[in-house]
Structure 1
Amino acid sequence: MTAKSQTASRFVPAIFAAVLGLALITLTGHVQAAALHDAAHDVRHATGFPCH
């Protein structure tokens, strides 16, 4: 492996994580609080985590 490909292979996961994080923050910042709460509540029930 060349030095250039090693450097690129290190940055790809970091860039992907940054884009994913920014998208998550942007989307959750624009959704209504009730919809976000309902989605989290449904996920808790779907995974079997007690929330009541």
Structure 2
Amino acid sequence: MTTNTISNSRSISQRATAGLISLLIGVSMVFAVGLSHISAVHNAAHDTRHAIGFPCH
């Protein structure tokens, strides 16, 4: 019998790259919503935006 093992370890650079990309996407989303002039988007994110200290007015 043989057992196949799957290695879930990734190199540090791959994890750092994935983390950096995720951070950039998240920051882009916050600023896209924060600077949006569409009232539906503004109202949907209004309370969250103020909770994290992002000015919207």
**TM-score when normalising by structure 1:** 0.52
Which of these residues, 26, 42, 45, is aligned with residue 31 of structure 2? 26
Between Structure 1 and Structure 2, whose CA radius of gyration is higher? Answer: 2
- Which protein, 1 or 2, shows the higher relative CO under an 8 Å CA cutoff with sep ≥ 6? 2
Deviation at 1:32, TM superposition (A): 2.0
Aligned residues: 34
Which structure 2 segments of 5+ residues have no match?
Answer: 1-9, 45-57
Q: Percent identity?
A: 18
Give the number of the structure whose residues are more often helix, by fraction: 1
Greater displacement, 27-36 / 9-18: 27-36
**TM-score when normalising by structure 2:** 0.48
**Runs of 4+ in structure 1 displaced over 4 angstroms?**
none
